């Protein structure tokens, strides 16, 4: 068996938490102190360099987020969900949850708050377009409100399990990845292209990569394995792309007996989404011949 470097699972989890807070996925806010029974409101969100989260929404009249006054902190829950871009099937790649306080910014102070928030923290590799622009657009629209959320910790549910992270630890990802991670953002089209590039490797190649990770012959790790109870038979013998970023690909291998989710780590961080296909092709070309020659 070939020895490979053990990936830093916690580092990847914090990177995922950072992506979710920085604008990836869909975010919803619940003002549970004002009305615990009120449904959550979907918001646009972005992350400031100081760890605070900007949100913007046009709340309907009479709802908790509409009646909360400006400049008064309100206890809230923020939930962010990131779904896979795999067509035809819904797969939740990760969710983030936090309890914090939301303070609405008065109308005359919104421009200053937005201007002071522009920083590299608002640009996440997987988000693509600057999420701050979405926040600005909604906050400046009819009935729009701009808020600032402060919190201490975030709970992350992802393929690697459940973990809790301090906001400071998530912000430190920038310095930890400075030597390896690219600074350029991937556009939404590039994200879709990256997912398509994974699929283009082919089921045979993806299956070989998954087997290599299972056998410890390729960087990565198994996240979970469970019986394929309730899985549609049309998905049997398929390998689906759950997530992809500059550091690796999360794959879901499905058979008639079990569903295995695993992470394939790239040898080094990619400079752009266009490198996903070639990088994964190289891994597959290394793993596939060894498996084709087996009896």
**CATH at residue 114:** 2.30.110.10
- Residues 108, 128: one domain? yes
Same domain as 61, residue 172? yes
- Which CATH number fits the domain that encloses residue 266? 3.20.180
> Please, which residues have CB within 8 angstroms of residue 60's CB and are 6 or more apart in sequence?
66
pLDDT at 184 over 60: no
Do residues 204 and 164 both lie within one domain?
no
Task: Report the predicted TM-score, pTM, of the whole model to 2 decimal places.
Answer: 0.87
How many Å apart are CA 2 and CA 22, to the nearest integer? Answer: 37
Question: Domain total for the chain?
Answer: 2
Question: How would you write the chain as a 3-class SS string?
Answer: CCCCCCCCHHHHHHHHHHHHHCCCCEEEEECCCCCCCCCCEEEEEEECCCCCEEEEECCCCCCHHHHCCECCCEEEEEEEEEECCCCCCCCEEEEEEEEEEEEECCHHHHHHHHHHHCCHHHCCCCCCCCHHHHHHHHHCCCCCEEEEEECCEEEEEECCEEEEEEHHHHHCHHHHCCCCCCCCCCCHHHHHHHHHHHHHCCHHHHHHHHHHHHCCCCCEEEEEEEECCCCCHHHCCEEEEEEEECCEEEEEEECCCEEEEEEEECCCCCCCHHHHHHHHHHHHHHHHHHHHCCC
Quick: pLDDT tens for 111-126.
Answer: 888 887 764 444 444 3
pLDDT digits (tens, 9 = 90+) for 236-252: 999 999 999 999 999 99
Please check whether residues 135 and 228 belong to one and the same domain.
no
What does the pLDDT look like over 189-231, one tens digit per residue?
777 899 999 999 999 999 999 999 999 999 999 999 999 999 9
- Residues 80, 224 within the same domain: no
Is 4 contained in some domain? no
Both structure tokens of 147: 């808020």
> By residue range, what is the domain housing residue 83?
9-183
Instruction: With respect to residue 154, please indicate whether it lies within any of the assigned structural domains.
Output: yes
On whether the CB atoms of residues 156 and 237 are closer than 8 A, the answer is: no
Which of 133, 160, 183 is the C-terminal boundary of a domain? Answer: 183
231 and 177 in a common domain:
no
């Amino acid at each position: 068996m070939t020895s490979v470097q053990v990936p830093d699972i916690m580092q990847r989890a914090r990177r995922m938490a950072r992506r979710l807070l920085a604008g990836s996925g869909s975010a919803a806010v619940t003002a549970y102190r004002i009305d615990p029974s009120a449904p959550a409101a979907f918001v646009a969100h972005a992350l400031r360099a100081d760890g605070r989260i900007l949100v913007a929404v046009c709340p309907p009249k009479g709802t908790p987020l509409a009646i909360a006054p400006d400049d008064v902190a309100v206890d809230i829950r923020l939930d962010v969900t990131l779904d896979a871009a795999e067509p035809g099937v819904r797969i939740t790649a990760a969710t983030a949850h936090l309890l914090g306080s939301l303070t609405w910014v008065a109308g005359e102070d919104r421009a200053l708050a937005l201007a002071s928030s522009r920083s590299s923290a608002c640009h996440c590799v997987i988000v693509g377009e600057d999420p701050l622009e979405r926040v600005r657009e909604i906050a400046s629209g009819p009935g729009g409100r701009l808020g600032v959320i402060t919190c201490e910790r975030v709970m992350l549910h992802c393929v690697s399990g459940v973990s809790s992270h301090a906001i400071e630890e998530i912000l430190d990802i920038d310095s930890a990845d400075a030597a390896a991670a690219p600074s350029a953002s991937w556009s939404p089209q590039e994200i879709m292209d990256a997912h398509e590039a994974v699929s283009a490797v082919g089921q045979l190649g993806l299956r070989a990569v998954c087997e290599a990770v299972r056998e410890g012959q390729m960087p990565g790790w198994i996240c979970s394995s469970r019986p394929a109870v309730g899985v549609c038979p049309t998905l049997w013998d398929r390998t689906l792309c759950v997530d992809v970023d500059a550091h690796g690909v999360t794959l879901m291998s499905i058979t008639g007996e079990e569903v295995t989710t695993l992470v394939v780590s790239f040898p080094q961080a990619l400079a752009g989404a266009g490198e996903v296909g070639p990088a994964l092709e190289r891994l597959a070309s290394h793993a596939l011949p060894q498996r084709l020659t087996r009896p």
